[in-house]
Amino acid sequence: MKIFAETARLILRELIPADAKGMFEMDSDHEVHLFLGNKPVQSIEQSKADIEFIRKQYIENGIGRWAVIEKASGDFIGWSGLKLIKETNNNHSNYYDLGYRFSKRYWGKGYATESAIAARDYGFKVLKLDEIIGIADIDNLGSIHVLEKAGLKRISIFDYHGIKHHWLKIEKPV
């Protein structure tokens, strides 16, 4: 099992099938999915399939979202990291998106920001990216705040699946 990054409180590693229970706890929660199309998963089988889909991204794209493990407890608390987006959004394609999602009981602890900064640093230092993109529903103030704390700047507002979203970006430090 590959560890991609580590912070003071978190381990960011590849998602594995054993993470399905934690993924299901997170993704079956309506509040977690409030700004994600409001379609929580209905079964642990769906969570298992999501993990397999992400594991294929590791092979095909060299990157995909990572499991976030809380060091103090050893618990799976969510996922975070970069994902190569090949389809076109806001007139862009083949960009690296910074994203994160956490079980509600871990909200408000700074884990999203901590993991986003680690993923940003990995993108610039290891993947040698020129820029990283973030997308957030304009009403998802918490997510926008996390992206901005990781250094991304609001560039534009665009229509993403019928909902207004911010397009945020950070460029490689000079």
User: Would you say residue 45 lies in a domain?
Assistant: yes
Read off the CATH number of the domain in which 17 is found.
3.40.630.30
Q: How far apart are CA 21 and CA 27, in angstroms?
A: 10
Average pLDDT rounded to a whole number, residues 58-78: 97
pLDDT in tens, 87-135: 999 999 999 999 999 999 999 999 999 999 999 999 999 999 999 999 9
pLDDT in tens, 134-158: 999 999 999 999 999 999 999 999 9
The residue segments making up the domain with residue 79 are 3-134
User: Would you say residue 17 lies in a domain?
Assistant: yes
Structural domains of the chain, count:
1
User: Would you say residue 151 lies in a domain?
Assistant: no
Sequence-distant (6+) residues with CB within 8 A of 69 are 10, 11, 12, 13, 75, 76, 77
User: Would you say residue 173 lies in a domain?
Assistant: no
pTM to 2 decimal places: 0.94
